[in-house]
Amino acid sequence: MLKTKVGYSTLKDSYAKGKEAAKNAVVGMHPKLGMMYCSCNDDVEEVVNGAISSMKGAPVIGCTSSGMIMTNDGIIESEDGFAGLMAFDDRNMNIGVAAHKAGKNAREIGRKVARAAVENAKENYSPNYFYMVASPKEEEDYLMGIQDVIGRVPMFGGSAADDTVEGNWKIFCNDQVFSDGVAVAFFYTDNDIVTSYTGAYRETENYGLITEVRNDRTLVKIDGVSALKKYAEWIGKKPSELKGQNLLVASITKPLGVKDPLGNLTVVRHPMFGDDMGTRTTTDDVINLGNKVVEKTAIVQLEATVDELIKSTKATLKDVKSQLTTEPAGYFLVHCGGRKLGIGDRIDEVYKKLVEEAHGVPFITVFTFGEYGYDEHSANICGGLMLSFTAFGEE
């Protein structure tokens, strides 16, 4: 039977913080894995070292979380930083972890990580489920490489994040700590693991064909028109009002989305920066996105109110719980840091709704700059401004 427990700390000293968070999470446990999340303002290597000292030999994997984390006990944040860890204990569960810094070929790195995680688990077959954490760059390529090795195994997870979108994030896996790369945890288990992956936005009647893309994540033109101009028309703004990070904030309640081929899942593409990438002869107002888009596919403008963003957290947790065939042992909740920014001072309402729906089952909520998951028969996909809520069954 699977047990989970969450520990956390806001001690000033980074090593002591990691040690206390892990120590509280493993009381009465024989841990197989610790999934940990901390502040980018901490000495992350020291936080990780402190956690490892309390983990009884079990691996630790995770990343920095934007601004805070949440547990059953509250919103965990502090000027001195924070750390939280969810421990997993099940004698019938086997875990394999691996990590790799970024390099020249992200897909090949994904293959290496997958092979290393299988070897670390001392298995010779694909896992039942896997967790991935990566920097907000090349996630799709890491994922393809992993799936080259293990096939389409259900996934969950999210990217590393910082507080200011300046690249101060970290990823860690045991003694490895780095800013750019990927880490995975492979779960070998007969227990239920299910994920609800959604943006919970409404589709509008504003949509068009992607006609030009640069470097996978720069949307240049929609219907042959400069992308920023087209998007500005859709949301009733001027392109000049959406330059730079103004676009990131304005698009939280009005993002873009792409559909999977079956239409079961609309994956959010967060417009991050509005740039002028023109030449001497032409000016293209382009949109830099948080994830990959492809030419000759459709893109639709989405929308949601702040009230809807808050309510969606409880509804998504309820949905993932309903997918379990056994009682829940724990919830791992990935919530976009951009959504948190849009929700602002009302983030305590999100916490209250999660507590109401969790009914005492341990949970940890992390805030990322990219969210990973799937829906029914869709592919595993990376998105932004989304929720990736995963439930672990007791059996």
pLDDT, residue 263, reads: 85
| Segment 318-331 mean pLDDT | 97
Place of tokens 């997993």: 88
Q: What tokens appear for 243 in the block?
A: 């330059």
End-to-end CA distance of the chain: 5
pLDDT, residue 9, reads: 98
pLDDT, residue 277, reads: 53
The residue among 80 and 280 whose pLDDT is bigger is 80
Residue type, 342: G
Q: What are phi and psi of 78, to 5 degrees?
A: -170, 150
Whether the pLDDT of residue 279 is over 60: the answer is: no
Q: What is the pLDDT of residues 107-164, one digit of tens each?
A: 999 999 999 999 999 999 999 999 999 999 899 999 999 999 999 999 999 999 999 9
| Segment 178-200 mean pLDDT | 97
Work out the percent of the chain whose per-residue pLDDT is above 90: 93
Beta strands at 60-64 and 33-38: parallel, antiparallel or unpaired: parallel
Residue type, 346: R
Please give the model's pTM, rounded to 2 decimal places: 0.95
pLDDT, residue 278, reads: 46
pLDDT, residue 371, reads: 98
Return d(Cα 219, Cα 231) in angstroms, integer: 11
Handedness of CA 358, 350, 11, 37 (dihedral sign): positive
pLDDT, residue 138, reads: 94
pLDDT, residue 258, reads: 96
Burial track 155-170 (b if 16+ CB lie within 10 A, e otherwise): bbbbbbbbbebeebbb
Place of tokens 């899942």: 265
Whether the pLDDT of residue 281 is over 70: the answer is: no
Q: What is the pLDDT of residues 97-111, one digit of tens each?
A: 999 999 999 999 999
Q: What is the pLDDT of residues 248-264, one digit of tens each?
A: 999 999 999 999 888 88
pLDDT, residue 377, reads: 81
- pLDDT band at residue 280 under the 50/70/90 scheme: very low
Whether the pLDDT of residue 226 is over 50: the answer is: yes
| Segment 332-351 mean pLDDT | 97
**DSSP code, position 244:** B
| Segment 232-256 mean pLDDT | 94
Whether the pLDDT of residue 287 is over 70: the answer is: yes
The residue among 281 and 366 whose pLDDT is bigger is 366
pLDDT, residue 275, reads: 83
Q: What is the pLDDT of residues 15-57, one digit of tens each?
A: 999 999 999 999 999 999 999 999 999 999 999 999 999 999 9
pLDDT, averaged across the chain = 95
Pick the closest to residue 293 from 326, 260, 276, 269 (CA basis).
269
| SS3 category, 340 | helix
pLDDT, residue 245, reads: 87
Pick the closest to residue 184 from 231, 147, 239, 211 (CA basis).
147
Beta strands at 155-158 and 129-134: parallel, antiparallel or unpaired: parallel
Return d(Cα 271, Cα 278) in angstroms, integer: 18
Return d(Cα 393, Cα 210) in angstroms, integer: 41
Whether the pLDDT of residue 229 is over 80: the answer is: yes
Q: What are phi and psi of 357, to 5 degrees?
A: -85, -25
Q: Could you tell me where the DSSP H helices lie in the chain?
A: 14-25, 44-54, 106-120, 139-150, 227-235, 246-250, 306-322, 337-343, 347-358
